[in-house]
Amino acid sequence: MLIRKIDGNWVRRWMSRALWVAPIVTAAVLVLHIGPPGASADAAAPPQTTLAELKADFARPKATPFPSDDPYSKAKAHLGELLFWDPILSGNGTQSCASCHNPGLSWTDGLRLGVGTQEMKTHTPTLLNIAWAPILGWDGHFPSLEAVAFAGPITNPGIMNRKPTDLIRALSAIPGYRAAFAAAYPDRAITEAHVADALATFERTIVSGPAPFDRWVAGDDKAIDAPAKRGFVLFTGKAGCSNCHLGWAFTDEGFYDAGTATGDDIGRARLFTNTVKLKYAFKVPTLRDVARRAPYMHNGSEATLADVIDLYDRGGIDRPSRADFIKPLHLTAGEKADLIAFLNTLTSDPKPVDVPVLPR
Ligand code: HEC
Ligand code: HEC
């Protein structure tokens, strides 16, 4: 909790829950008769309301949050989708947002590091459930989703390398874009702010689909198998994963040193130079669709889920910045396999990728 107090003026519902959600989850799954051998389900049985609360905590939220200064409209989301797929956003006309955030790869690219006009220093994060992220970027340097497009990829010479004035001129020359901006905005203008808002609106519609885990939480006991159920108990108990990977998207949106970085790759300490626990601290990624999104971590340093589990089992790197919840776990081979079985249940059902016809 220390980091969040230092780091945040953004207070989230989950923060107050972080302290109690893990034990309740563990107790409640014992009631579902999946506890370790010898566990007494009756003794551990919480009142019925606790199971209902467990379901509520992992249930999918009813609505996607859109900010009041960039509210949802269908026309704006459609315009944002066109822009997202359009290589017109890059200086050399070859790369779109979707080149790196590829929906067929759960909105990442399968590469260790992102590759724009140059190789980037970080791995491309998924955009799944980005509507819920209060701040963006592996080190949290983007204050809002609207701020990302022009402060980050579009103008960066190493990524898309496009001058905003050139982009606006190119979009203004295409009748289909003039119509799409006119439909999305009452002033009909083609501006940098409208491009950024439309992209953000589309990105907020990128929400992970239902997965076997959701069906299990909703009451279908057969939706996931015994190893995965044991893995969930470990995840929320002995392995301590849910201290950071909380809630339906499996992230508390905090920043921690999980032992992936060394040297000058100092993460959030770039913004908070004097905070010991923010050195080497990076954003907790969602674990939705995680099995489809290798390689892992901000630097793509872990090739497989087994490598990720081994890193946690070693306890990251023992140093002052190491997160309090990261420590050697001494997991058995069977427990590691159970954790992976559980992570595999977070993969959403496949759905076809809609590639829009671009205006020209
Ligand atoms: C060359 C690959 C590449 C392209 C093209 C690209 N991105 Fe990214 N994107 C990345 C990488 C790498 C990061 C992580 C940057 C960091 O924080 O270090 C990122 C981060 C982001 C984030 C923050 C995600 C988070 O979890 O905090 C958003 C949002 C985003 N990109 C949206 C876009 C949009 C919109 C476009 C098109 C205008 C775009 N990206 C184009 C590679 C790319
Ligand atoms: C102290 C908070 C914390 C704990 C505890 C924790 N994680 Fe993480 N997790 C993170 C952070 C931070 C990252 C990103 C680190 C980076 O990119 O350098 C991460 C990344 C991951 C990733 C990679 C996801 C991706 O998209 O690249 C997986 C998988 C993962 N964690 C699973 C687990 C499992 C399984 C456990 C329990 C054994 C666990 N985590 C415990 C904070 C935590």
Closest CA to ligand 1's atom 23: 137
Burial class (CB in 10 A: 0-12, 13-18, 19+), 124: buried
Smallest CA-to-CA distance from 14 within 58, 74, 44, 63 is with 58
Say whether both 247 and 315 belong to one domain. Answer: yes
Does any ligand 2 atom lie closer than 6 A to the CB of residue 160? no
Domain stops at, among 204, 220, 250: 204
> Which pLDDT belongs to residue 54?
56
130 with 144: CB under 8 angstroms? Answer: no
For residue 288, being part of any structural domain is answered with: yes
Does any ligand 2 atom lie closer than 6 A to the CB of residue 323? yes
Say whether both 116 and 152 belong to one domain. Answer: yes
Domain stops at, among 204, 224, 241: 204
CATH of the domain at 311: 1.10.760.10
For the CA of 251, the nearest ligand: 2
For the CA of 335, the nearest ligand: 2
For the segment 268-285, the average pLDDT, to the nearest whole number, is 96
Closest CA to ligand 2's atom 39: 241
Say whether both 152 and 273 belong to one domain. Answer: no
Coarse DSSP helix, strand, coil percentages of the chain, rounded to the nearest 5 percent: 45, 5, 50
Closest CA to ligand 2's atom 6: 241
> Which pLDDT belongs to residue 62?
85
| 60-88 pLDDT tens trace | 888 999 999 999 999 999 999 999 999 99
Say whether both 83 and 181 belong to one domain. Answer: yes
For the CA of 293, the nearest ligand: 2
For the segment 16-42, the average pLDDT, to the nearest whole number, is 34
| 195-244 pLDDT tens trace | 999 999 999 999 999 999 999 988 898 999 999 999 998 998 899 999 99
Say whether both 222 and 340 belong to one domain. Answer: yes
For residue 133, being part of any structural domain is answered with: yes
- What are the φ and ψ backbone dihedral angles of 257, each rounded to 5 degrees? -85, 105
Domain stops at, among 155, 186, 204: 204
- What are the φ and ψ backbone dihedral angles of 119, each rounded to 5 degrees? -70, 135
Long-range contacts of 109-113 (CB under 8 A, 24+ apart): 110/294, 110/295, 111/295, 111/300, 112/295, 112/299, 112/300, 112/301, 113/299, 113/300
* Assigned token pair, 26: 């563990």
Tokens 């107050």 label which residue? 16
Say whether both 101 and 197 belong to one domain. Answer: yes
* Assigned token pair, 113: 């590091």
> Which pLDDT belongs to residue 39?
35
Please tell me what DSSP assigns to residue 322: B
Does any ligand 1 atom lie closer than 6 A to the CB of residue 206? no
Does any ligand 2 atom lie closer than 6 A to the CB of residue 239? yes
Say whether both 130 and 104 belong to one domain. Answer: yes
- Alpha carbon of 284 to ligand 2 centroid (Å): 6
| 127-177 pLDDT tens trace | 999 999 999 999 999 999 999 999 999 999 999 999 999 999 999 999 999
Say whether both 6 and 87 belong to one domain. Answer: no
For residue 355, being part of any structural domain is answered with: no
Say whether both 13 and 46 belong to one domain. Answer: yes
Smallest CA-to-CA distance from 100 within 82, 78, 85 is with 85
In ligand 2, the atom with minimum distance to the C-alpha of 293 is 26
10 Å Cβ neighbour count for 150?
A: 18
- Overall number of domains in the chain: 2
What is the average pLDDT score of the chain? 87
On the question of a cis peptide bond just before residue 320, with omega within 30 degrees of 0, the verdict is no
> Which pLDDT belongs to residue 354?
86
Does any ligand 1 atom lie closer than 6 A to the CB of residue 133? yes
Domain of residue 131 covers 74-204
For residue 353, being part of any structural domain is answered with: no
For the CA of 271, the nearest ligand: 1
Say whether both 199 and 221 belong to one domain. Answer: no
For residue 264, being part of any structural domain is answered with: yes
Does any ligand 2 atom lie closer than 6 A to the CB of residue 325? yes
- Alpha carbon of 232 to ligand 2 centroid (Å): 15
- Alpha carbon of 333 to ligand 2 centroid (Å): 19
Say whether both 235 and 199 belong to one domain. Answer: no
Long-range contacts of 311-315 (CB under 8 A, 24+ apart): 311/258, 311/259, 311/260, 312/239, 312/241, 312/258, 314/259, 315/259
Does any ligand 2 atom lie closer than 6 A to the CB of residue 3? no
Say whether both 86 and 42 belong to one domain. Answer: no
For residue 131, being part of any structural domain is answered with: yes
Euclidean distance between CA atoms 277 and 5, whole angstroms:
11
For residue 352, being part of any structural domain is answered with: no
For residue 320, being part of any structural domain is answered with: yes
